[in-house]
Amino acid sequence: MNKPKFFVFALLFLFGLTNVFAQTEQEKNQIEPSYEVVLHVVVASDNSTEKGKLPPQLSSVVGKLKNDYSYSNYSLAATFLERISASGIIGHTGILNQLKQTNDEKIYFSDWGLTGLKAGKDEKGKNLIQFQTFNFGAKVPVVTAINGKGDGVEVVNYENIGVRITRFNLPENTPTIIGSLSTQKTDEFIFLVLTVRPV
């Protein structure tokens, strides 16, 4: 008498198991969404001759910086654009001559990257982007001396400056200040502004 019930139960179990496998296979084949990551390097200083045009989307960020810092001028040193998915890694190295302190021929190098993108919502339902790690570094030339041969040739050493952040959140599609760096100038500061938007 229990055989029909057992048969029905077995069919339901197999049907459910088939659905689980089908969903797992579908999730495995689903392509992760992509995001554009835009990094702006903003230089704050008291030198009014170093003005650089800032994009309109940074106006609210610069307004906040002006409230928190006393620098009189803000200029854009560089803009980087990369694309990443949730399981991707960004690693960018290159020349950053936009950060030159003088009109000399010295080369500036940059190195930045991020890992572990994850999209989600906060308790109010606002879209957030989370990263596991972010790093930004630069090699800047520093004149340490004039050599002793009397020919006026400078001795230049490269010094590393940088910032590394582990696990942080920022609102989606909103320019957000995520770090700052000092330079060899006492009246100058670098701010890193990150924007992440789905594509």
Instruction: Enumerate the domain spans of the chain.
Output: 1-30, 32-198
pLDDT at 107: 77
Q: Mean pLDDT over residues 66-81, rounded?
A: 91
Mean pLDDT taken over the chain:
82
Measured over the CA atoms of residue 24, residue 25, residue 28 and residue 34, the dihedral's sign is negative
3 state SS of 59: helix
Model pTM score:
0.77
Give pLDDT tens digits for 131-186: 999 999 988 887 777 766 666 677 888 888 899 999 999 999 999 999 999 877 78
52: confidence class by pLDDT, cuts 50, 70, 90: low
Strand boundaries in 60-175, DSSP class E: 73-85, 89-95, 109-115, 118-121, 127-146, 154-171
pLDDT at 116: 92
Percent of the chain clearing pLDDT 90 (strictly above): 44
Top pLDDT among 24 and 199 is at: 199
53: confidence class by pLDDT, cuts 50, 70, 90: confident
pLDDT at 96: 77
Give pLDDT tens digits for 5-42: 555 455 555 566 566 555 566 556 777 889 999 999 99
Structure tokens at 77: 């040193």
Give pLDDT tens digits for 92-146: 998 876 665 555 567 788 899 999 999 999 888 999 999 999 999 988 887 777 7
DSSP tag of 57: G
Dihedral of the alpha carbons of 128, 39, 85, 125, in degrees to the nearest 10: 10
Q: Which residue has the tokens 């100038």?
A: 185
How many Å is the maximal CA-CA distance in the chain? 109
Percent of the chain clearing pLDDT 70 (strictly above): 75
Phi, psi dihedrals of residue 129, rounded to the nearest 5°:
-120, 130
Residue 54: C-alpha distances to residues 40, 45, 176 (Å): 10, 14, 15
Q: Write the Ramachandran bin of 8: left for phi over 0, alpha for psi from -120 to 50, otherwise beta.
A: alpha
